[in-house]
Amino acid sequence: MHPAELIDSLEMSASVLERFVGRIPEDKLHRERGEGIWTVYEHLHHLVLVQPMLFKRLRSFKNEEKPVIRAYVPDENEATERKQKRSVDELITAFKDWRAKQVELIRSCGPEVWLRTGTHSEYDLYTFEILVRHVLTHDGWHMYRMEEIWLVKDGALTK
């Protein structure tokens, strides 16, 4: 994928998320669908909580020749934070603000940054381009899961 396409997609992802979540009825945001399955709200909150970490990774690639990226595992603190009741509007605003910062940083990176390779404990290959693509696919995965939790009938929801 061309860098400009990735950047455009990242920008659009914020408005897709905003419009998508705006369509979900309030009573469906916090509906529990089963043991170990996050609610729609928890997925949204997670998307917001990881944006600072993703920004730091992007900045590491910009500022370091061979950045070392640590694996991210949601911990007890994130689980507690995901349960806190911030308004959906507040979460969407926070997501959009972080995404704007990320896009600004990505746009400021020249071709040499796009070619940089870092190390990541979970991946055989980890480049700036892969990171940018992961940010986009991470958004999409969580939006898909939110839609599934919202719309799929009982008994048909995947674990």
Q: Give the residue from 132, 102, 103, 100 showing the smallest Cα distance to 115.
A: 132
The 10s digit of each residue's pLDDT in 101-154 is 999 999 999 999 999 999 999 999 999 999 999 999 999 999 999 999 999 998
The crossing angle, in degrees rounded to 10, of helices 40-63 and 3-23 is: 160
Ordered by where they begin, the domains of the chain are 3-151 (1.20.120.450)
* DSSP H helical ranges for the chain: 3-23, 26-29, 40-63, 76-83, 88-107, 111-114, 128-151
Quote the pTM value: 0.91
* Distance separating alpha carbons of residues 95 and 89, to the nearest angstrom: 10
State pLDDT tens for residues 55-74: 999 999 999 999 999 888 87
